[in-house]
Amino acid sequence: MENENPSLKRARSYGPEQQGIRVPENKSDLTPRFKLIFSTVAALTVLALILNVLLAALGGDSEQVKAAAEACSTTYMMGFGAIVGLVGGKVA
């Protein structure tokens, strides 16, 4: 096998560097900046969800309460989308 054609050796190499796959150096490849952004988005999403539930349960029927509840609803839906995007971007 030592006399094998070098181009065949290269074609049979299935290492991650040959396929362009990124190999993390360690298990936790999360930077402090990513952790800060993710925790901020998660906290704001949870806060908006809690405020939306509180406004729905304890708020009145005024237009201001309805507008605040709609803003909280939009905020937590966007926050959930941002969380999915952050996790999906980190996996890829």
Tell me the pLDDT tens digit for each residue of 1-35: 556 665 555 555 555 555 666 655 655 678 899 99
| Mean pLDDT value across residues 52-63 | 89
**Distance between CA atoms of residues 73 and 50, nearest Å:** 10
- What is the rounded end-to-end Cα distance, in angstroms, of the chain? 37
- Residue position matching structure tokens 């050796």: 9
Q: For the chain, what percent of residues have pLDDT higher than 70?
A: 70
Which pLDDT score is estimated for 87?
92
Q: What share of the chain is helix, strand, coil (3-state, %, to 5)?
A: 75, 0, 25
